[in-house]
Amino acid sequence: MRRRRIVLCGFGRVGQAFTTLLAERVAEIETRYGLHLELTAAVDIGGAAVASQGGLPLLPLLSHVREGGTVETFAGFGRPGMTGLEVMQEIPADVLVEATPTNLSDGEPGRTHLLGALEQGMDVVSANKGPLVLYYREIHELARRQGCGVYISAATAAALPTVDVGEVCLAGSHILAIEGILNGTTNYILSRMQSEGCTYEVALKAAQEQGIAETDPRLDVEGWDTANKLILIANRIWGTAFGPQDVTVEGITALTVEEIASAKQRGEVVKLIGRAEGGEGRHRLSVAPRLLEETHPLAAVHGSEKAISYLTDTMDRITVIGGRSSPLGAGAALLKDLINASRHKT
């Protein structure tokens, strides 16, 4: 039985969803994968809960936080003011799970957590796009020097398997292009406009009322959430180091009812597509609303679903559709990466 000690940074909705899944499935993971997973520490904005020996009691920790407590006030384990970096420097651990909020200004505190973990020889599993988008080369070069793995499924579309398909299922093929519907909010809005003939404003309000869109939806509707995910996927698949400056981005805010209706009459649909083109050493990344024929595989992606489509030289087009857009989906992606990181470790 292989033991893996985990530090979790970020105990918000995604971190709690991950912890819930870990608590529910720890015995199954031991039986199925031969892995004993221990949550050694949980870190949040006010401090940490740390188990110096063995793992934290997961269900009592979750109950404590859901009843209004914080990780640093968890009786017997709380360490007020202790940072993620201090935890990793003090407590022996094997894997960092990074689930703090995405910060696209300077990548903190995620950048400090990821680099600190790698310096300690830990593998890292991240749902946080910020440091990966802004400091991809720095993080991956340090990981290479340290012989550590960087796992980013939860940052590239949560439950939708994106990099997994490109790296594992398409190994040996040349990936010529990547196309994706990588943001569930914008796809929901466009689907409502298409099916009901409503305006962008009406569809956005419906998305907000259902909790699909944020109160401030700009990152989604202006195309930057899609762009950030596309950057990570392209960098992982092609070994590049693109940043936000390398993507041309257009959102959906200017689309009109008339444009959507006109496309529908022609047998086309409008989708916000992230596209990365490769070949002959040249790459181009773009995000924009695109007209798709109804026979295109991405045209069949409705509501808040997402999809990824790879065009290859030997396997033709491979498309995956689905993936839960929720904290549970992101938590499940973190658990998947944690299992794969652990069972592939020699």
Q: Hey, which residues are catalytic here?
A: 229
**Nearest to 134, CA basis, from 227, 27, 10:** 227
**Nearest to 227, CA basis, from 206, 207, 245, 249:** 249
What is the C-alpha separation between 226 and 325, in angstroms, rounded?
A: 13
How many other C-beta atoms lie within 10 A of the C-beta of residue 346?
3
Sorted by sequence, the CB contacts under 8 Å of residue 9 that are 6+ apart come out as: 15, 43, 84, 96, 97, 98, 99, 100, 109, 110, 113
Judge contact between 330 and 17, C-beta under 8 A: yes
Long-range contact pairs involving 195-198 (C-beta distance under 8 Å, separation at least 24): 197/257, 197/260, 197/261, 198/257
What is the C-alpha separation between 122 and 119, in angstroms, rounded?
A: 7
What is the C-alpha separation between 31 and 259, in angstroms, rounded?
A: 54
Beta-bridge mates of residue 9: 43, 98
Strand (E) positions, 13-151?
A: 35-44, 47-50, 78-80, 95-98, 123-126, 150-151
Judge contact between 263 and 289, C-beta under 8 A: no
Report the chain's terminal Cα–Cα distance, integer Å: 13
Write the Ramachandran bin of 269: left for phi over 0, alpha for psi from -120 to 50, otherwise beta: beta
What is the C-alpha separation between 312 and 198, in angstroms, rounded?
A: 37
Q: Which residue has the tokens 């099916």?
A: 195
Q: Locate 250 and state its tokens.
A: 């257009």
Using DSSP's 3-state secondary structure scheme, residue 339 falls into helix
Question: What H or E segment, with its residue span, contains residue 50?
Answer: strand 47-50
